[in-house]
């Protein structure tokens, strides 16, 4: 994909993510009327998730009919090498409980590489964006990771999914606290990556996360100067993977803690 094609996709994605965010925010404000279904242990989906994904698919498939599309709710559609990967509401558990920490995530992947990503938090009206070779921004202003090198001054986001065994999770928290590092568990992996890119966190770790949760944030972290684990393995679409992103000065220290 050449630079003009990529820039065009990035512009359209930014417009679409705002439109989907406005729809999701409307549902958030009247969430008492939402139909909510269970997909598994502590895993929910709402009418808002489905309708936001349908909107995003309609807009992107109209603009780029040759591209494929992977949505959390609707699965894979199309066979194009450039693939849009969408989480219509990352942080649904927060969303349905009225906790204002969730976002709409859109990422573009081609040949195993994240090329562009947009994450929109409509409650805060914050649009995080990144394009390969073009930097990372928050509402149009450049952002970057913290540059922290001392774990005793760091704060790391951490996630958990019941798709993985419970036992390692408290061990990970114990390891962070033993190292003098603070942690947060906020319930949105996408925003965990965005906050790392913007310097609000020094890193984010989750032992298993799906591609749609992080596809929008991968390039944002990379373009903000962060270091990322090898997430884009050949089976990541079907299987997900572990994710670690951090400001470079503490990445190896965190890797050592979580691998111990």
β-pair partners for 141: 138
Q: Does 158 carry a binding-site annotation? A: no
CA atoms of 35 and 48, how far apart (whole Å): 8
Cα 51 to Cα 103: distance, rounded to the nearest angstrom: 15
89 assigned to a ligand binding site = yes
**Helix 189-197 crosses helix 211-223 at what angle (to 10 degrees)?**
0
Q: In 128-188, where does DSSP find H-type helix?
A: 168-178
- And the tokens for 218? 């991968």
> Where on the phi/psi map is residue 58: left (φ > 0), alpha (ψ -120 to 50), or beta?
alpha
| The pair of three-digit structure tokens given for residue 259, joined into one six-digit string | 């691998």
Distance CA(50)–CA(53), nearest Å, equals: 5
Question: Is 87 within any annotated ligand binding site?
Answer: yes
Annotated binding site: 72, 87, 89-90, 213
Binding-site residue positions for Mg(2+): 72, 87, 89-90, 213
């Amino acid at each position: 994909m050449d630079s003009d094609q990529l820039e065009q996709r990035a512009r359209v994605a930014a417009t679409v993510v705002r439109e989907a965010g406005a729809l999701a925010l409307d549902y958030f404000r009247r969430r008492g009327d939402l139909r909510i279904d269970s997909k598994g242990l502590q895993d929910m989906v709402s009418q808002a998730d489905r309708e936001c994904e349908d909107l995003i698919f309609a807009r992107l498939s109209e603009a780029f009919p040759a591209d494929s599309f992977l949505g959390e709710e609707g699965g894979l559609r199309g066979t194009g090498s450039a693939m849009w990967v969408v989480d219509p509401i990352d942080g649904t558990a927060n969303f349905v409980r009225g906790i204002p920490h969730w976002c709409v995530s859109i990422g573009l992947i081609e040949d195993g590489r994240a090329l562009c990503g947009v994450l929109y938090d409509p409650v805060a009206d914050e649009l995080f964006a990144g394009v390969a070779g073009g930097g990372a921004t928050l509402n149009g202003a450049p952002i970057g990771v913290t540059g922290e090198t001392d774990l005793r001054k760091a704060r790391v986001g951490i996630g958990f999914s019941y798709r993985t065994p419970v036992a390692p999770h408290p061990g990970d928290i114990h390891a962070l606290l033993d190292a003098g590092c603070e942690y947060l568990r906020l319930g949105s992996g996408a925003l965990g990556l965005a906050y790392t890119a913007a310097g609000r966190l020094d890193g984010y770790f989750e032992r298993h996360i799906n591609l749609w949760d992080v596809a929008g944030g991968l390039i944002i972290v990379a373009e903000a100067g962060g270091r990322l684990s090898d997430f884009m393995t050949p089976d990541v679409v079907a299987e997900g993977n572990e994710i670690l992103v951090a400001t470079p000065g503490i990445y190896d220290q965190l890797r050592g803690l979580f691998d111990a």
